[in-house]
Amino acid sequence: MNILVSGGLGFIGSHTVVELLQKKHKVVIIDNLHNSQRKTFSIIGHITQENCSFIDADCTDLLKLSKIFRVNNFNAIIHFAGFKSVSESVQNPLDYYRNNLLSTVNITKLAIKYNVNKLIFSSSATVYGNGISPFSEESPLLERTNPYGESKAMCERILLDTQKANPQLSLYLLRYFNPVGAHKSGLLGEVPNGVPNNLLPFITQVAKSKRERLLIYGNDYDTPDGTGVRDYIHVVDLAKGHIAALESNRTGVNIYNFGTGRGTSVLELVHAFEKVNNVKIPYEIVARRPGDLAVSYADVSKAKRELNWEAKLTIEDMVRDAWNFEKNLKD
């Protein structure tokens, strides 16, 4: 198939492109390099020994996006492009609403216009808001605790309404929990711009002495050790989940949680990193961040039942691969 991957040089997007190319799909990547790097494109080629196309473009630019659709006959779209930091969204809500909603509207508008009848959307567990874990796909979408989550919920609403008006569109809403890890080659992983917003890249930067200590935001949550609990999923497992969605013949609306179904606390992840990699991680407890939940983990039974997909890699795999990638990075 000929697949458009928006945000395809980002953390999750790049790993998904690798899996697509290894499955011999044809791929066109659109990325504006806002939170990604151009060199990732050549790394993907090195890992896969396959060719794909990269276009430097912003999905909020409808005119440029239209030209791309006009000259390509896409069979499906995987839409990753979007801002993704919870804390940043609290500080800059207008940026998040403009970017995430407009890029989704544009992608969807062109999918309809050019008869691309399969759209896979990169959603988030944050759409469940301040509900109680484990979250299933039938869990109510309660009040979101941050603009990032709200923007994802709004995008889902836009897509659902569009699909209702255009029933030929097969829509897949994939709600990720907490992607971490890196490709086993050590060549592809998460490279945040500036101070990492996500936990594991922060840990690896501390391990490499790029940062003095890890900041743990709150140890007074109602959890076994007081730190926040999340459902961490290896990015390679997550990428393979997109392949399962792409290759599924289910039509209409399909919503899936992508996680492991198990919660791990911040301190448990830190201690796993220390044990597996034999590196001590100094940390400091600081105040909670606005918008953070105490506990979030998935019910993943639907994805296993309908897509025949489940996460295989462990917390130990995640911290090992993330550290292997960080060690290979040139500072």
Contact yes or no for 39/92 (Cβ under 8 A): no
* Number of Cα atoms under 13 Å in the Cβ half of residue 7: 24
Contact yes or no for 110/59 (Cβ under 8 A): no
| C-alpha to C-alpha distance for 46 and 186, rounded to whole angstroms | 12
CB atoms within 10 A of CB 112: 16
Whether omega for the bond prior to residue 134 falls within 30 degrees of 0, making it cis, is yes
- CATH of region 2-180+232-260+299-311, choose from 3.20.20.140, 3.30.1340.30, 3.30.450.20, 3.40.50.720: 3.40.50.720
Query: What integer best gives the mean pLDDT of the chain?
Result: 96
Whether omega for the bond prior to residue 147 falls within 30 degrees of 0, making it cis, is no
Q: What is the mean pLDDT of residues 22-41?
A: 96
Residue 307 clears pLDDT 80, i.e. is over it:
yes
β-strands 26-31, 2-6 pairing: parallel
**pLDDT at residue 192, as a whole number:** 82
β-strands 2-6, 76-79 pairing: parallel
Contact yes or no for 258/124 (Cβ under 8 A): no
Cross-strand pairs, 76: 3
What are 154-199's pLDDT values in tens digits? 999 999 999 999 999 999 999 999 999 999 999 999 988 777 878 9
Give the catalytic positions in this structure. Answer: 148
Q: What is the mean pLDDT of residues 306-320?
A: 98
Q: What is the mean pLDDT of residues 18-30?
A: 98
Cross-strand pairs, 124: 176
Q: What is the mean pLDDT of residues 320-329?
A: 96
**pLDDT at residue 161, as a whole number:** 98
* Ranges of each domain in the chain: 2-180+232-260+299-311
**pLDDT at residue 45, as a whole number:** 97
Q: What is the mean pLDDT of residues 16-24?
A: 98
**pLDDT at residue 87, as a whole number:** 82
Percent of the chain clearing pLDDT 90 (strictly above): 90
Cross-strand pairs, 4: 28, 77
Residue 291 clears pLDDT 80, i.e. is over it:
no
| C-alpha to C-alpha distance for 18 and 44, rounded to whole angstroms | 6
* Number of Cα atoms under 13 Å in the Cβ half of residue 282: 7
Residues in the chain: 331
Helix 266-277 and helix 199-207: axis angle, to 10°?
40
| Candidate from 21-30, 113-122, 191-200 with smallest mean pLDDT | 191-200
- State the pLDDT confidence band at 331, using cuts at 50, 70 and 90: low
Structure tokens at 90: 């609290």
Residue 90 clears pLDDT 80, i.e. is over it:
yes
- Only one residue has tokens 């979007």, namely 82
What are 239-275's pLDDT values in tens digits? 999 999 999 999 999 999 999 999 999 999 999 999 9
Residue 293 clears pLDDT 90, i.e. is over it:
no
Q: Tell me the DSSP string of 252-287.
A: SEEEEEES-S--EEHHHHHHHHHHHHT----EEEEP
- Only one residue has tokens 């029933």, namely 167
